Structure formats: C-alpha cells, structure tokens
Structure 1
Amino acid sequence: MPDAALGIDYGTSSTVAVLRHPGGRVRPLLFDSSPLLPSAVFRNDSGRLLVGRDAEHAARLDPARYEPHPKRRVDDLEVLLGDHALPVSELVAAALTRIREEALRTLGEPPATVTMTCPATWGSARRQVLLDAAAAAGLPVPALVAEPVAAATYFAAVLGHAVRPGQCVIVYDLGAGTFDVSVVQRTEDGFRDLACRGLDDVGGLDLDALVVAHARTLVEPKGDGTWQRLAAPQSAADLRHATMLWTDARHLREALSRESSASMFIPVADTEVLFTRQQFEAVAEPVLRRTVDLALATLKEARVRPESVAGWFLVGGGTRTPLIATMLHRATGVAPTVLEEPQLVVAEGALHLATTAAVPTEAPEPAAAPPVTATPFAQPFAIPPASATPPADATPPIVATPPAPVAKPAPVAKPVVAAKPIVAAKPIVAATPAPQPKPATAAGVGTSFGELFALVGAGFAAVLLLLPVLNGETVGWWWIGGGGLALGTAWRAWRLRRPGPRAVDWAAIVAAALGAVALVVFTILDMPGI
C-alpha cells in the first residue's frame, strides 16, 4: 500500500493541493469547501498572517496590509505589509502552512512525501524560495517538478490519452499572472521540455483589466472625479473600493465563460455595468492572439511535425475563456483539451510523478534563451504598466492598475528558456534539442521510381545507341539524344546508392526525358515518306 503523498501547485492567484491517501485514493484538499486556496496574504494586528479567503475579507479593513499575489513578488527580497517588511518566502510559507494543517486534519498524520511544481523557466534562486517556504511550513523537503511536465503527465496518466515515446503534448498555460507554452516530449522514462516560452504581461489579471477598462468608459465621462478615486485611491475607504472593483471584475470575467452577459457594480459611482461576451471577446482577441502566435512559434522552434503532436492541453484558470479554445482550433485544426477545472491539473499531475520517480530538489540555473519580443497589440483602451506614473497635467489613464498599499516595482521579466524538466532523478539541464533531419541530399526524388527509371532507361538507351551502329550509320542527332538519355539514366543509377542534391536529380530526369523525346521525334522524321 503506498504511503500518503501531497502534490502542491502554488499559483499566482490560487494554490491547489491534491492528496493521495494510503489506500491510493486521490482527492484535492478543500479550503472553505473549495479546492482553490487564494494565495493572498494579510498581516493582522497581532502579526499573524492570514491566507486564502480570510486574507481577502480582512483586506477590506486595511488594504495596506494585504498582498494578493505573492508569487509575482518572487524576485523581491521583501514585501511591505503595513509597516512591516516580510521575506517573500514567509508569505509563501503561510499558504503552505494552511495546506499542511488541512492535510494533517484529513490524514491524521503528516504526508510522507511532498511534490511541488514551479515554472519550467525558474532557476535555482526562485526554486530556493519554494524550498525555504516548505521548510518554514514544516513540510518534508519537496521534490520540485516543472509545471508543463506535470500537466503532460496528467494528460497521459489521468485522462488516458495515448502519448507514445517521441510524441509531444503542447501545454498552453494561462494563469493569473503569466502565460507559458511548452512543447513536452514523451521519452522512455517520462517527459521532457523541448521548448518553453512565455509572456509576463499576459494573464488572467490582464483580462480583468479589460473589464475594468470597459467600466471606466461608462463612469469616467461623468467627470465628477469618481473614477480617479478608484484609479488612484488615497484613503482607506477608496482602497477598499478599488479592491472590490478588481475582485468583481474577475468574477464578471469568469461568469462570461458560462453566460452570454454579466453585470458588475461599480463602488463609489453607485453604478451597475453590463458586459456581454461579444464585447469582452472583441477587446480580448488582440491579447489572446499574442498567446496563440507564441504557441505556434514555439511549436515551430521545437521542430515538431504535426503528426507527432498527441494533443493540445489547456491548463490554468484563464483557459476557461471559450475564445481561447476557439482560436487555437482555428489556427491548428485540432480541438484542444480543456477541463471544467483546469486549475487542478498541475497539482495532480505532480502527484502522479511523485509515485514513479524521486525528483531532485535543486538544480543549476538554466541557460537563458533569446528574449521574446512581443508585438504590441491594438486595442480601444490604453493599459499602462503598473509602475507608470502619469504627469500631473496628463489625462488619467484609461485603466486603473490593481490597488496596492505601496508602489511596487514591475515584476522582473521571466527568463525565456528551454529548460529540461525535473524527472526520474536526472540533473536539471537545458533541454537538448531533438535530433533534426539532415537536409534532403541523401534522399532522391524517390527510390522506387529511380529504380524503374534506371532499368528501363538504360535498356532503351542501349538499344537506340546500337541501332545506328548496326545499320552502319553515324547520325549526329542519334548520339545527342541517346547521350542525354544515357547521362540522365546514369545519374539516377548512381543515386540509388549514393547521396546527391535534389536539383541534380531533377536536371537528370529532364535531360533524359528530352533525350528520349528527341530520339522518338527524329526516328519518326527519318521514316520513309515523311
């Protein structure tokens, strides 16, 4: 009977934990009756860190002590909550502590093994944040698994899709903070990344910004300064209202994945805003087009043939937007696989990996690949970066950035690398490109065609060349036509055993064909009476 094991996917917006009981039963842990634990953290008056929905509710009392997305701050040394600066690992540890407590309550004992996921492009410094947080939370030393590898494992092991060695799964991961696409290849002992690229400025939060932009177009024209209070809150009350605005924008976006229209209430303005799915898709299409284009470019970069793709797999909460599957289907001709709860995929996939291999927990920093240069997209609203500060006399920006108690630096761009996932106790190194086919010099126009052409052509040429000699004639055009046919045939015969360029192949075929035609034409013209 296997020991209890725990798989954790620490996300930007939500964290998921899946538990395998000693009897083999696999179930997600529930937090307030939901498998999704918000990653948000709030520091209360006593210095205790609240996580999940407790943190979201407490944030309305004092937003300055609230951090909604600790994973986005992974490159910061400390995060200011109120008047206290805390290490990022401590914020992550708060969520992991809540998971450990729930696992202990469910099992009655600590899990024997823990597997955590991280982006494939994370290096050793970022991975160490997760390891430090797990140690602070009292968990066993976790095995770290690349997120796309865990997703591909779920695709094969849980959903039952046949993925033969050499075939690939394209993992399209749209989370709250970032977008990543990976080409994951099946090997004899697991999966590995062939190519992985991403966009740091596209995620569920950026889609929420489109909803907020729509709300602003209806509220701002009133010119009473209402929107300015939401865009640049100065008081605690305005901070609460801004937090409510962005929370309700996320709920509206999620509702549009199920309904044709939805409404949200705008605090301070005391206004209700209606947003249809058609309106949302019109403004979201340019943003999502960038993800589809990057996915196709990554597939091309990995040099994977269409017949080697076992499937497209959509993971991450943002992929519940129906437009994504529609755009991918149109671009590839393949219907992607998307689940009702795509947020649970990575954690359970990591749990399945933990049952088959011991994964090392540390690895050298992966080698950096050339950065992704994204083409700016056109849209009816201008969405400024979070760190932008408009001049005093400038028109207020169209979209408000998410509220924060202090100015936060823009997140450091995630390095775009092709990292080899951590599987089967192998060191983590940059992915070795799959062997590529050599230029087409060893293969001709076709071996079977070449054999037939060589045999028939050689016999025909021999007969035609012998006829004038046997008749005692030495007609020049016989030698010209026969020579062209013989040379072309000789080259094709040579190509049956040796490599050569395709251009010469076709030239030989043309020369032989012209020679044959010339012999036939001259023979007819030489007949008596013509």
Structure 2
Amino acid sequence: MTTVVGIDLGTTNSALAYVNTYGKPEVIPNSEGERITPSVVFFDGDLVIVGQTALEAAVTHPQAVVAGIKRQMGKGEFSYTAPSGQGYSPEQISAFILKKLKQDAEQTLGPLSDCVITVPAYFDDLRRRATIAAGELAGWKVLHVLNEPTAAAVCYGLTQAGLDQTLLVYDLGGGTFDVTVLKVVGSSVIVLATGGNPLLGGRDFDQLLVDHCREAFIEQTGVDPSDDPSTHNDWLRRVERAKRDLSQRQRTSVALSGGGHTTRIDLTRAQFEASASALLAETLDLCEETLSECRLGWQDLDLVLLVGGSTRMPMVTQLITGLTGKPPHTPVNPDEAVALGAALTAVSEAIRQHPEAVKSLNGMTETMALRLGGRTRIEDVTSHSLGILAYVGPHAIHDILVPKNTPVPVEIKRQYKTQYDNQVSLEVPILQGEATDPALCVRLGELRIEGLPPRPEGAPVQVTMRYTRDGTVEVEALDIQANKQARARIDRSKQGLDPRQLAQAQVEMAHLQVE
C-alpha cells in the first residue's frame, strides 16, 4: 500500500494529515499525542529535539533553540550556529521539523515517503525551492508545493458544495500573512490573484504585547530585563497565552519576572486592539490591493475563509464582518485546515503523477481514490513577476515577461537584440520580483550561449519563458541568426543567494538589450 500525506509546515506550528480508508482527511497526532507540533528545534548536545520540549527549552537554553525558521527560508546568507559549533541552514533546521513529523506519523501509518507541503501563496521561488530542499533532506519525496490558501479552499469542500462562488482566503498564521481571491466553478478552484507579507503574523502581534509589558514593567520596577534572551522567551510564551485569553474576555493579567523582580501587569482587549490597529490595517490594505487586481470589491465576495490560528482574534472577525456585512466562514479548526487540504491534494497529485498508485493508495478502494483524485482541479497563478535582466540603452532593468497573478501554466516569447559589436556569448540572468530595478529582485539563475559568430550590435535573440503548473521556471534563449539555443530550468532543490549580494554581478553579466 502507498500512503501519501499533506504537511502544513508553519512558522509557529506544523501538522501532518492523510486521507483515511473512508476518504476523509484527518490529522495524525504526534508522538506526544498532540495534533499540532511546535515548529521549534532544540540542540541539546548531540541530540536534536523538535516540538513542545524544544519550545519549553527556549526559556532555559535560549541560545540552543531556534524558532520561526520559516521566516528565514530561501535566505542563503542566514546560518544558525548551535552551541556545539555546528552551523545549520534554514533548510536543515526545517528538515528536522519535517523529519519529526515523518517519524511520528510512521508510528501510525507505517513507512512514508510521498507528501505535499504547503507554503504561503506569496512565497517567492527561492523560498519554495528551500521548502522542497528541506523536505528532501528529511527523507520526503515532495510531490507538489501547494499554496496554503488553496489548500484551505480544498479542505472546506467548496468544490463539493454545488455552487459557483467567489471567495477570499484571509490566512493569518504565526509568521506569515496571505490573501488569495479564488473562484470555485464546479469542481475547479481557480485562483484569481494572491498577495501577502511573509514577515507579518501572530508573532508580530505577540511582540506588541511584549513591548507594552516591558514599558509597564520598567514603570513598576525600574528595571528593564528585556535584553536577556531567557526572559524575552519566557515573556513571549506568557503574553501569547494572555493574547488567547483576550480572545475570550475583555481583560486579563500576566505575571512577569526579570532582573530579580516579579510583577503582574493588567491587559485589556481594547488596549491590545488599539496597539494592533496598524498591523490589522496592513492586512486590510493587502486584501484590498489583491481584490483590486481582480477588479472586485468586498461586495462581490460570496464568503471569506479564515485560516491560521491568529484569525481567532476577535478583531479579525469584526474587520471582515464590517467589510462584507456577514461573518467569515470558519467551519473547521483554522490550525488544521491547511494540512487537511494538503492531504486531499496529495491524493490527486499521487494519481496524476503515478496513475498505477490508485490501486493501493492510502488503503482506499480504487473507486474512492479515483473519485477523490478527480474531484478538484486547481488553476493557480504566479505569486510574483518573472523576467530577465536586460538593457534599455545603458541602463540595466528587470524586463518582466510573466506578470504577477498570470494564470499558470504559461509561455511567453519576447525578442531582444545583442548589445554590442562582435558579441560572441550571451548571459541571461533570470529574475523574480515586481521592481524594474534588478537590485530589488531575486535572481533565480541564468543561462548562457557561447561560441557565437561575431556580428554587429542588434542581432536578434528570442527569449522564451515558461512557468509550469508546479511553479518550475524554464527559460530558453535562441540566437536567431546563428540558430544556437540555450535552456535553463530552475532547479528548486538548489539554494539561491540573496539578491543584494548579486545586484552588481547581475548588471555585469547582462548581455541583452531591450528592443
């Protein structure tokens, strides 16, 4: 029997789910019996511990604990050095989390290899590649990287509702915010546009409470203990619990210690919401920007789905209700919706990639597997623009071939010309981002044509860019006169570099002039 699973690799918590023999998705508890696993890693000597124990160790061993690593994914310059002196990349640390999920689930499901991993819709290609690399390091075969809002739409069974609907998925997790506008037409999920901020999430709301408590603590005790990592981590845990309390009641209090002092600080929901208004307004701006890209307004939505644990804050529900005139849709646990949707998608992906697997998939009957595998069709869009570095006169620019929110798969052709006389080679850097300034974009890779016959400036070169269904970027450059071609396929298993380190190199390597 082949068993495929879906994984929500979160900033704060992660979860794994699969579709059982009855065709229902369910979350598999970890070895501690919990349905979600804190995305925290503790380097305890030669041991690597993931989950709740690691979270608790953040107070006593702050230098040996890593949390929120998802925010560092795709950043080639980031490295964490453990107390042993060993350095770890974000992919390696994420791999420890994914390996924990794998080992724990195997206690229930038996040997596992194939999975679908979810990512924020607004993740760029470097972050997506890094996620696949982490999965492979953990021993997974990653069938597909699925956008989290799309997974939520699949989880909520909207394709089975028998209604054509337009919806917005508001996904506020622990470390990231995503907004996606979709249409459900029959059994198809059609993504219209996506936006977000990979550095905005529940952790930022927690930090507001920490900052407030710090000011109150100093006022009451005259001591500022916030520079101590152990104290900071302890306060984060305590204010996070207080934030949950404020979702249920109008006021609470939190006991905090530091610098030899202990005091209790009162918190009110009104006070918290006032301090968080700017963060909430940022999510609203991103929602309205994404709706505008679809030429839609709040009144055009049939429903709004809330995803992510941070949407439990009452101010989120109040915001959406005030904008749409009706409460948002939260039929299942917002912490589990993404993993459940990923599990359903994993069945579809397994059948699409390996049709023979349908006879032994997750212990289901072949009829049920085919029904699940064929019930949802996903049509996605690019979350970021794609192009190449080229020249307009003496100036290097990011010439966008595939604009953001273009339906995929897509193929775009554009003609350029050589930049100078006697040019015998071509370098074509491949960029991702919305800016025309190459220094503000991410470099995904490059392709090269060498050994061309010398010819005058202005010889024609055709560039073809493809963006595949699974987000793979393929680029071809054809020297039309010499009939010589080069191809580049962005390998997501390899790590990219920070764009700031490459900005000057990109300009020096670009050899194409925009017509």
Cα distance between partner residues in 2 of 1:367 and 1:294: 14
Instruction: Report the CA distance shift for 1:325/1:366 in structure 2 as closer, same or farther (over 3 A).
Output: closer
| Matched residue, 1:49 | 48
Q: Name the SS of the counterpart of 1:11 in structure 2.
A: coil
Cα distance between partner residues in 1 of 2:331 and 2:80: 35
Cα deviations by residue, 1:146-197 (Å, 9 ceiling, x for unpaired): 1111111123359x64542xx4220001111121111122356632321111
Amino acid across the alignment from 1:418: N
Amino acid across the alignment from 1:93: A
Cα distance between partner residues in 2 of 1:141 and 1:154: 20
Asked whether the 8 Å contact 2:173–2:310 carries over to 1, the reply is yes
How far did residue 214 of structure 1 move? Answer: 2.2
Amino acid across the alignment from 1:265: A
| Matched residue, 1:299 | 291
1:186 to 154, 159, 184: 184
1:212 to 193, 210, 213: 210
Instruction: Report the CA distance shift for 1:135/1:286 in structure 2 as closer, same or farther (over 3 A).
Output: closer
How far did residue 204 of structure 1 move? Answer: 0.5
Cα distance between partner residues in 1 of 2:271 and 2:12: 25
Pairing 1:279–2:267 present:
no
Cα deviations by residue, 1:227-271 (Å, 9 ceiling, x for unpaired): 2x22x22xxxxx222210111111111121122322211111301
Asked whether the 8 Å contact 2:14–2:38 carries over to 1, the reply is yes
Cα deviations by residue, 1:267-319 (Å, 9 ceiling, x for unpaired): 11301112122222222233212212321232122113667533100101110
Q: Name the SS of the counterpart of 1:337 in structure 2.
A: coil
Cα distance between partner residues in 2 of 1:121 and 1:199: 7
1:175 to 134, 156, 173: 173
Q: Name the SS of the counterpart of 2:336 in structure 1.
A: helix
Q: How many residues align?
A: 368
| Matched residue, 2:244 | 254
How far did residue 25 of structure 1 move? Answer: 4.3
Higher strand share: 2
How far did residue 352 of structure 1 move? Answer: 1.5
Q: Name the SS of the counterpart of 1:115 in structure 2.
A: strand
Asked whether the 8 Å contact 1:364–1:428 carries over to 2, the reply is no
Cα distance between partner residues in 1 of 2:252 and 2:406: 41
Instruction: Report the CA distance shift for 1:279/1:308 in structure 2 as closer, same or farther (over 3 A).
Output: closer
Asked whether the 8 Å contact 2:121–2:383 carries over to 1, the reply is no
| Matched residue, 1:60 | 59
How far did residue 324 of structure 1 move? Answer: 0.7
Cα distance between partner residues in 1 of 2:284 and 2:239: 24
How far did residue 421 of structure 1 move? Answer: 7.4
Amino acid across the alignment from 1:212: V
How far did residue 203 of structure 1 move? Answer: 1.4
* Residues 477-492 of structure 1: pairs in structure 2 closer than 5 A: none
2:385 to 346, 350, 368: 368
Asked whether the 8 Å contact 2:25–2:344 carries over to 1, the reply is no
Q: Name the SS of the counterpart of 1:343 in structure 2.
A: coil
1:428 to 464, 471, 476: 471
Q: Name the SS of the counterpart of 1:265 in structure 2.
A: strand
Structure 1 stretches lacking a partner, 5+ long: 234-238, 371-415, 431-530
| Matched residue, 2:23 | 24
Amino acid across the alignment from 2:202: G
How far did residue 38 of structure 1 move? Answer: 0.6
Q: Name the SS of the counterpart of 1:192 in structure 2.
A: strand
Instruction: Report the CA distance shift for 1:367/1:215 in structure 2 as closer, same or farther (over 3 A).
Output: closer
Cα distance between partner residues in 2 of 1:290 and 1:4: 40
Q: Name the SS of the counterpart of 1:138 in structure 2.
A: coil
* Residues 160-171 of structure 1: pairs in structure 2 closer than 5 A: 161-164=161-164, 167-171=165-169
Cα deviations by residue, 1:388-436 (Å, 9 ceiling, x for unpaired): xxxxxxxxxxxxxxxxxxxxxxxxxxxx9436579xx935389xxxxxx
Cα distance between partner residues in 2 of 1:263 and 1:21: 43
* Residues 70-469 of structure 1: pairs in structure 2 closer than 5 A: 70-77=69-76, 78-82=79-83, 83-107=85-109, 109-111=110-112, 113-157=114-158, 161-164=161-164, 167-187=165-185, 190-222=188-220, 224=222, 226-227=223-224, 229-230=225-226, 232-233=227-228, 239-268=229-258, 269-304=261-296, 309-339=301-331, 341-358=333-350, 367-368=384-385, 417-418=404-405, 420=407, 426=469, 428=471
Amino acid across the alignment from 2:385: A
Cα distance between partner residues in 2 of 1:51 and 1:419: 38
Asked whether the 8 Å contact 1:42–1:81 carries over to 2, the reply is no
Asked whether the 8 Å contact 2:11–2:173 carries over to 1, the reply is yes
Q: Name the SS of the counterpart of 2:247 in structure 1.
A: coil
Asked whether the 8 Å contact 1:148–1:184 carries over to 2, the reply is no
Amino acid across the alignment from 1:196: T
Give the TM-score of the pair, scaled to structure 1. Answer: 0.63
Cα deviations by residue, 1:301-350 (Å, 9 ceiling, x for unpaired): 21136675331001011100011111111122232113562011111111
The structure whose Rg is larger is: 1
Higher helix share: 1
* Residues 513-524 of structure 1: pairs in structure 2 closer than 5 A: none
Identity within the alignment, %: 26
Asked whether the 8 Å contact 1:59–1:240 carries over to 2, the reply is yes
Cα distance between partner residues in 2 of 1:39 and 1:8: 12
Cα distance between partner residues in 1 of 2:53 and 2:280: 32
Alignment RMSD (CA, Å): 3.0
Amino acid across the alignment from 1:220: I
Cα distance between partner residues in 2 of 1:206 and 1:6: 30
Instruction: Report the CA distance shift for 1:126/1:40 in structure 2 as closer, same or farther (over 3 A).
Output: same
Amino acid across the alignment from 2:342: A
Cα distance between partner residues in 1 of 2:194 and 2:344: 22
Cα distance between partner residues in 2 of 1:172 and 1:25: 24
Amino acid across the alignment from 1:19: Y
Asked whether the 8 Å contact 1:150–1:346 carries over to 2, the reply is yes
Cα deviations by residue, 1:194-218 (Å, 9 ceiling, x for unpaired): 1111134531111112211221232
Amino acid across the alignment from 2:40: A
Asked whether the 8 Å contact 2:28–2:105 carries over to 1, the reply is yes
